[in-house]
Structure 1
Amino acid sequence: MRIPVIFGGDVAPDDAVLIEGDAPAPPAAWVERFHLPANPLHGVGCACCAPRGPAAEALSRLFLARARGSSRLFPRLVVVASDRGIAAVRAALIADPVTTAHFME
């Protein structure tokens, strides 16, 4: 069963949160962060620049923590990001086979 990904909105007590950059985290949330390069040469998810972008790597870390039991068994993931960060997460959800196997929008 793939984990649903929600963009923005309220964070429930059992949710995990994926945050772009250093924005404040909700209290008591399981948080993973990703940082996009400041001046990318190409678009989000460009295969020649980064086969797995920062958002895909962060999603993998979240799934591994859940699978290994080092995080709680979160039922969904809430993404807090800029438009560019949301595009990076959506690109990973569509194009990255590992991410697609574990998460769904």
Structure 2
Amino acid sequence: MIRIDARIPVFLATASDDAAMGVAWLVENPAEASWDGRETGHVAGCACCVARSPVAETLGRLFRARAVGEVPFFTRLGAVPAGPEGEAALRQALETDGLASACYRLETVGASL
């Protein structure tokens, strides 16, 4: 049985990695303890956003922006955590957040483009 995984792969990167075609970037801002802000465009406390982490919220906004053409279409997402805590938050969002895990998957080391 062939299983197709159409989720967008997320790979861990550093701030010095070069941009590539088809890659969007998600960068943690440790000074504000956020991943690119926290606005969601929903009513505060709605069921789809309650108890979502900043990185999960940002992943959701980025996927929506991709879907409606607000950002250039990308096929991969490079994530630049500021440290081990940021990496752990990203991993947790990809494993436990319903929307994030439905849209994205953590790319394994050495995966091809």
TM norm structure 1: 0.70
Q: Aligned partners of 1:34 and 1:83: how far apart in 2?
A: 20
Partner in structure 2 of residue 20 of structure 1: 28
Aligned letter for 1:96?
D
Partner in structure 2 of residue 77 of structure 1: 77
Partner in structure 1 of residue 55 of structure 2: 55
Matches within 5 A, 1:7-46: 7-8=12-13, 10=17, 11-21=19-29, 33-34=36-37
Q: Aligned partners of 2:89 and 2:97: how far apart in 1?
A: 11
Relative distance call for 1:89 and 1:34 in structure 2 (3 A) is farther
Query: What is the aligned-residue RMSD (CA, Å)?
Result: 2.1
Q: CA deviation at 1:51?
A: 1.3
Q: Detail structure 1 runs of 4+ shifted over 6 Å in the superposition.
A: none
In the alignment, structure 2 segments of 5+ residues that lack a partner are 1-5, 39-49, 107-113
In the alignment, structure 1 segments of 5+ residues that lack a partner are 24-31, 36-49
Aligned letter for 1:104?
R
Q: CA deviation at 1:22?
A: 6.9
TM norm structure 2: 0.66
- Sequence identity, in percent? 41
Larger strand proportion of the pair: 1
